[in-house]
Amino acid sequence: MRYGIIGTGGVARTIADKLVALGHEVTLGSRGKDNEAAAAWVGQAGASGHHGTFAEAAEFGEVLLNATPGTVAVEALRAAGAEHLAGKLLIDLSNPLVFGPDGGLTLDPVNTDSVGERIQREFPEALVVKTLNTLTAPLMVDPARLEGEHNLFVAGNDADAKARTVALLGSFGWPAEWVIDLGDITGARAMEMMMPFWIRLMGAFGTAEFNYAFKRAR
Amino acid sequence: MRYGIIGTGGVARTIADKLVALGHEVTLGSRGKDNEAAAAWVGQAGASGHHGTFAEAAEFGEVLLNATPGTVAVEALRAAGAEHLAGKLLIDLSNPLVFGPDGGLTLDPVNTDSVGERIQREFPEALVVKTLNTLTAPLMVDPARLEGEHNLFVAGNDADAKARTVALLGSFGWPAEWVIDLGDITGARAMEMMMPFWIRLMGAFGTAEFNYAFKRAR
């Protein structure tokens, strides 16, 4: 399968490495062609790793992943071109973190909107699924780094797009029953609003390598 | 010990029942004296259960708990009287849920502020600790309803006040090592912002009887 990844940061390259290791073709997309992180990644990824503009990555991919920061995601996807997103599964991994007035990390948008919803509104023909924004990159592609069951979440308007996302996550090592469906794309609000909690927990635990699990009544 | 609980709803009465069962004296506080829920609770609580105004409950308690909705908490505590809060541990259990423009539940305040912080700012002489707002009332006082370790969180500016809160939670059945310290009272933002996620999870699980646990790297 051909994947286009919008973004070239740590999350983008971690996902790209995993996709190449699974036998897929990947194009990392950046604003301009002179992106050192992307060039370095292509140098070590082998023949299945490519680099291009946002538009080239979006055109290349049969499935797309947004790994830009949530604050610039819509703008980056506009540059990618609505015509390259239409009809495609578009997996959004982003969090819209901004520094607040007191120096702490806050979210924008928040509460009555989310990046996932903004992307879906701006590109109504894309099949947007929010997932993977709730944990650190190494765990995204290697859940066995933690012992036992822990959980991911998906939100999106299209059931088939969510099922395809769950299948992709399965190839990353996530059993389908570990992935909790939070409903339509408005569930992205809930998922993005966990980020302040995640940051506090990272401070309390002294590591980013942790994840949510749940105890439920039986 | 004498406890004053601000509020007479389900959470207030669940906590009050547990405190009476543990041998404490409890006054439930309401806006007016003609509160049917409080009167009914006093009728079944026995000699250790009392009812009064917000001010009477706050004056009565050596330790206070705010179990009013987060949207009215500051107003209720003003009615309780700053002079009855000064120097006391004030445990805030509230969430500021309001219906948003699209009918979904949202938070006010959110993101750059929280109810916990508002209470601490408004009553600087109170020792405010945020906890217990992250799970359903029956679990607050009976964590053994779920199997194995699951977690609570505390946030507050005063280390001794947090330690006393952890001890109280211990008497409810929560081992101290299950209680995660999220730092100063600004951690209340993170804890309150989990509420939209909690509501989505309740929908996905089909029960409110669930709680967070964590897997961590070792």
For residue B192, tell me if it sits in a domain.
yes
The predicted-structure confidence for A181-203, as pLDDT tens digits, reads as follows 999 999 999 999 999 999 999 99
Calculate how close chain B gets to A59, using CA atoms only, in Å: 34
Q: Which pLDDT does position A201 carry in this prediction? A: 97
Q: Which pLDDT does position B218 carry in this prediction? A: 72
Chain B nearest-CA residue for A210: B216
B120 part of contact set with chain A, CB < 8 Å: no
Single-letter residue type at B5: I
For residue B218, tell me if it sits in a domain.
no
Check residues A104 and B96 and name the one with the higher pLDDT: B96
- Share the mean pLDDT of chain B: 97
Q: How far is CA A161 from CA A55, A130, A185, B113, in A?
A: 22, 10, 12, 36
Q: Which pLDDT does position B103 carry in this prediction? A: 84
Which residue of A166, A209, A216, A218 is the best one to mutate when testing the B interface, meaning the one whose CB has the most B CBs within 10 A? Answer: A216
Q: Which pLDDT does position B100 carry in this prediction? A: 87
Which CATH number covers residue B153? 3.40.50.720
B191 part of contact set with chain A, CB < 8 Å: yes
Check residues A211 and A101 and name the one with the higher pLDDT: A211
Alpha helices per DSSP H over A102-174: 115-122, 137-140, 159-172
- Pairwise CB contact (< 8 Å): A214 & B210: yes
Using the predicted structure, report yes or no on whether residue A103 has a pLDDT greater than 90. Answer: no
Q: Which pLDDT does position B61 carry in this prediction? A: 98
- Furthest CA-CA distance within chain A: 55
A107 part of contact set with chain B, CB < 8 Å: yes
Using the predicted structure, report yes or no on whether residue A80 has a pLDDT greater than 80. Answer: yes
Q: How far is B52 from B63, CA to CA, in rounded Å?
A: 16
pLDDT-flagged residues of chain B (< 50): none
Q: Which pLDDT does position A157 carry in this prediction? A: 98
For residue B215, tell me if it sits in a domain.
no
Q: Minimal CA–CA distance to B171: which of B16, B10, B7, B19?
A: B19
Q: Which pLDDT does position B65 carry in this prediction? A: 98
- Pairwise CB contact (< 8 Å): A215 & B104: no
**Chain A contact set for B105 (CB, 8 A):** none
Counted domains in chain A:
1
Q: How far is B208 from B205, CA to CA, in rounded Å?
A: 8
Q: Which pLDDT does position B206 carry in this prediction? A: 96
Q: Which pLDDT does position A218 carry in this prediction? A: 72
Alpha helices per DSSP H over chain B: 10-21, 36-45, 54-60, 73-80, 82-85, 115-122, 137-140, 159-172, 187-192, 195-205
Exposed e or buried b for every residue in B111-125, given b needs 16+ CB within 10 A? bebbbbbbbbebbee
**Chain B contact set for A148 (CB, 8 A):** 215
Mean pLDDT of A32-56: 95
Contact B152, B174 (CB under 8 A): yes
Work out the pLDDT band at A217, boundaries 50, 70, 90. Answer: confident
- Pairwise CB contact (< 8 Å): B193 & A193: yes
Torsion region of B173: left, alpha or beta (phi above 0 gives left; psi -120 to 50 gives alpha): left
For residue B214, tell me if it sits in a domain.
no
Q: Which pLDDT does position A104 carry in this prediction? A: 85
Q: How far is B196 from A194, CA to CA, in rounded Å?
A: 9
Contact B126, B119 (CB under 8 A): yes
**Which of B101, B190, B203 lies closest to A196 in CB terms?**
B190
Q: Which pLDDT does position B84 carry in this prediction? A: 98
Q: How far is CA B198 from CA A108, B20, B65, B103, in A?
A: 20, 29, 22, 17
A148 part of contact set with chain B, CB < 8 Å: yes
For residue B216, tell me if it sits in a domain.
no
Three-state secondary structure call for residue B156: strand
| ipTM reported for the complex, 2 dp | 0.95
Q: Which pLDDT does position B33 carry in this prediction? A: 87
Which residue of A193, A205, A207, A212 is the best one to mutate when testing the B interface, meaning the one whose CB has the most B CBs within 10 A? Answer: A193
Q: Which pLDDT does position A130 carry in this prediction? A: 98
Q: How far is B105 from B144, CA to CA, in rounded Å?
A: 29
Contacts with B121 (C-beta within 8 Å, 6 or more apart), sequence order: none
Domain limits for position A118: 2-205
- Pairwise CB contact (< 8 Å): A146 & B190: no
- Share the mean pLDDT of chain A: 97
Q: Minimal CA–CA distance to B165: which of B81, B84, B88?
A: B88
Q: Which pLDDT does position B62 carry in this prediction? A: 98
| Structure-token match 């983008």, residue found | A12
Q: Which pLDDT does position B101 carry in this prediction? A: 84
Tell me whether strands B210-216 and A210-216 are parallel, antiparallel or unpaired: antiparallel
Using the predicted structure, report yes or no on whether residue A145 has a pLDDT greater than 90. Answer: yes
Contact A178, A149 (CB under 8 A): yes
The share of chain A scoring above pLDDT 90, in percent, equals 96
A151 part of contact set with chain B, CB < 8 Å: no
For residue B49, tell me if it sits in a domain.
yes
Contacts with B133 (C-beta within 8 Å, 6 or more apart), sequence order: B92, B93, B94, B95, B191, B192, B195
Q: pTM score, two decimals?
A: 0.96
**Chain A contact set for B111 (CB, 8 A):** 100, 106-107, 110-111, 196
A144 part of contact set with chain B, CB < 8 Å: no
For residue B110, tell me if it sits in a domain.
yes
For residue A106, tell me if it sits in a domain.
yes
**Which of A180, A190, A211 lies closest to B214 in CB terms?**
A211
Calculate how close chain B gets to A25, using CA atoms only, in Å: 31
**Chain B contact set for A185 (CB, 8 A):** none
Q: Which pLDDT does position B102 carry in this prediction? A: 82
Q: How far is CA B91 from CA A34, A78, A196, B55, B115, in A?
A: 54, 47, 21, 16, 12
Alpha helices per DSSP H over A86-194: 115-122, 137-140, 159-172, 187-192
- Pairwise CB contact (< 8 Å): A111 & B104: no
